[in-house]
Structure 1
């Protein structure tokens, strides 16, 4: 009986080590200023090596949700958050149901937003955050058809929680 318990204990230890190694699969994107980094799971998010308007672009493994990250060389005041977000989408149409609220991500308090946009008879949802910190503001936003955002919310939350300030 005691040999079985020891064997069971050893096997459970091996399984725990195997699971830890599996969960440690992550890659890190470091912002151009070296202030922020985003840890992400490459099985869930793929970084686009070429981006024209953003510092970094990611998409989920099915290419249904896109994520965009940028570091600004200025600060976006809280009173201009709404107009800044509306300005980003104006060429695609008028956004609706814009909500901005405080949210804590990895001990960083950000101004999180959600909104919708009707574009070519499809409903798109966008969400993300703007944070004023060292070196200016940063923004990480997600976009996709409404259904894809809803179905991939856990994956979005995972990338959200990957942000951290490099000390």
Structure 2
């Protein structure tokens, strides 16, 4: 009886420690990916949009958008797929796509600029062909805030993992 009580107290203490942590986890809709994010830097949005889930920093200066597609995006269609996403907002410039490794995933990382409402926005992110289709994450930030928030973007990318 004493052991049962003692182990329950220890378990409650571990849960309290975990709940006091600044790291939250979001399991994506297909159950293939998880996103661990620092709640002091990022907040999950409750707004409904075409994206599976959206996040923003605590000052609403940088946004993160995540989606899982039920199909694969081939390397030859990367540029046209990315350009298509921004066509309603304006014309993108300086689109660069390169290979990058993020948490054991070989991804197609992209960076581009978008002129919108007399401001320049920087978008970056990646597409990954994995289980069940393509996963995409992208970040949008005004050009003036990019240097200040690049560490948050890198931190967020570091928290995206495939669930094995």
TM-score relative to the length of structure 2: 0.86
Structure 2 partner of 1:141: 138
- Secondary structure at the residue paired with 1:158? helix
- Secondary structure at the residue paired with 1:152? helix
Picking from 47, 53, 62, the partner of 2:44 is: 47
**4+ residue runs over 3 A deviation:** none
* Distance (Å, rounded) in 2 between the aligned partners of 1:80 and 1:24: 41
- Deviation of 1:24 after TM superposition, in Å, equals 4.7
Picking from 59, 66, 70, the partner of 1:69 is: 66
> 1:88-99 alignment to 2 at 5 Å?
88-99=85-96
With 157-166 and 23-32 compared, the bigger mean Cα shift is at 23-32
* Distance (Å, rounded) in 1 between the aligned partners of 2:27 and 2:106: 19
Structure 1 partner of 2:156: 159
Structure 1 unaligned blocks of 5 or more: 1-19
- Deviation of 1:123 after TM superposition, in Å, equals 0.6
Structure 2 partner of 1:6: none
Q: Is 1:130 matched up with 2:131?
A: no
* Distance (Å, rounded) in 1 between the aligned partners of 2:163 and 2:21: 19
Q: Is 1:80 matched up with 2:80?
A: no
Does the aligned pair in 2 maintain the 1:143–1:149 contact within 8 Å? no
Q: CA RMSD in A?
A: 1.5
Name the larger-Rg structure: 1
- Deviation of 1:122 after TM superposition, in Å, equals 0.5
